[in-house]
Amino acid sequence: ASRPATFRLSANGPSPAITAVIPTAGAAGPDGSPFVDKAIHAVLAGSSTRSVIVVIGDEYIGEPEFADPRVSVVRRPPGPFNFSAAVNTGILQATTELVLLLNDDVSAHSTDAGGTAWCDQMAVHFRDPSVGVVGALLRYPDGSIQHAGIVLDDARPLHSFVGSAVEDLGCKYADVARDVLAVTGACMLIRRSDALAVGGFSTEFPLSFNDIDFCLKLRRMNRRVVFEPAASLTHHESASREAVTESREWDRYIGRWGHVRDPWYHPGHARPDDPHQLARNADHLDPDRVPFITQARSTAIVCQVHHSRIPDAG
């Protein structure tokens, strides 16, 4: 089958006003410098229309100091680290409609010369009023894929194409902006008004599932979630916090969203079914491959791709 024509929005024009919210505990990278410094640089490099709110808590040692006047520091409510509470604190402090949520261990690619075209590629989708969340392509330091959208497989959220080469996305029609059920909160662009309308991030999910919960709440408001592969960053996943899933968070998540089916997750995908590497189970079906399905799957299929509905500028 021939490859379908793709559609790319133009990010030309002035950069939109965006406030980045970056929760941090002040963890340092391999070079000894705080991770958050590189995250701030990824947002502000070459831009005069963005500001950054760094959110700290009780776990932060010392007082953070940033020379750039576009960077401010706020404290989240006291207590153990709660990503949702930290993000909500930043969203409330933001003065722009578009808010970028960014983990402190996300940075620009080492080969990038600078600039923030990646953020503009995300922001352009908000010309479409139906879009509520836009996520980015995140890559491990070795260049392989860490996040290219999230799928639900029997209620379990999994990252698509984990460990694959970026070049492999084109073979599976995944190298263009498309609708997905959810994207990671490690790099997520949202509207502040939408976040306030759904009560922000649920503090009942302090560490895990908060981004899935947020995306699904917005989808319940008929907002769409879009993955934008042209926005590409490096993610040192779990470098600044140990990846731990609490059973109580899993139970709350299943109780709230366990019934949700993913309309974009093909039930005939090439599934390794590796219980020790659950992320690999999100591999997708090659378009030219006829699968041998030994067990019927319950996932519904809806043939829908991303088409931005933007009014004609005239």
How do the pLDDT tens digits run along the chain, 314 residues long?
333 333 445 556 677 899 999 999 888 877 878 889 999 999 998 777 789 999 999 888 777 888 899 999 999 999 998 999 999 999 999 999 999 999 999 999 865 555 568 999 999 999 999 999 999 999 999 999 999 999 887 788 888 888 888 998 887 778 889 999 999 999 999 999 999 999 999 999 999 999 999 999 999 999 999 999 999 999 987 644 555 667 889 899 999 998 898 888 765 565 566 667 666 666 555 555 554 444 444 433 333 333 444 444 44
d(CA 214, CA 201): 6
Q: Are 115 and 37 in contact (CB under 8 A)?
A: no
What confidence score (pLDDT) does residue 52 get? 96
Sequence-separated (6 or more) residues with CB below 8 Å from residue 307: 7
3-class DSSP state of 178? strand
pLDDT confidence of residue 46? 74
d(C-alpha 284, C-alpha 206), whole Å: 30
In one-letter notation, the amino acid at residue 112 is D
pLDDT reported for residue 277: 66
Report the distance separating Cα 2 and Cα 173, nearest Å: 11
For residue 12, the model assigns a pLDDT of 63
Going by the DSSP 8-state scheme, the letter that residue 253 receives in this structure is H
Measured distance CA(155)–CA(258) in Å, rounded = 5
SS3 of residue 298 by DSSP:
coil
> Could you tell me the two tokens for 289?
């491959």
* Distance (Å, whole) CA 111 – CA 154: 38
pLDDT value at residue 312: 47
- Predicted confidence at residue 93, as pLDDT, reads 96
Buried b (16+ CB within 10 A) or exposed e, 254-266: eebbeeeebebbb
Which residue, 146, 150, 145, is CA-closest to 133?
A: 150
pLDDT value, residue 273: 64
Q: Are 172 and 305 in contact (CB under 8 A)?
A: no
Sign of the dihedral defined by the CA atoms of residues 142, 143, 146, 151, in that order? negative
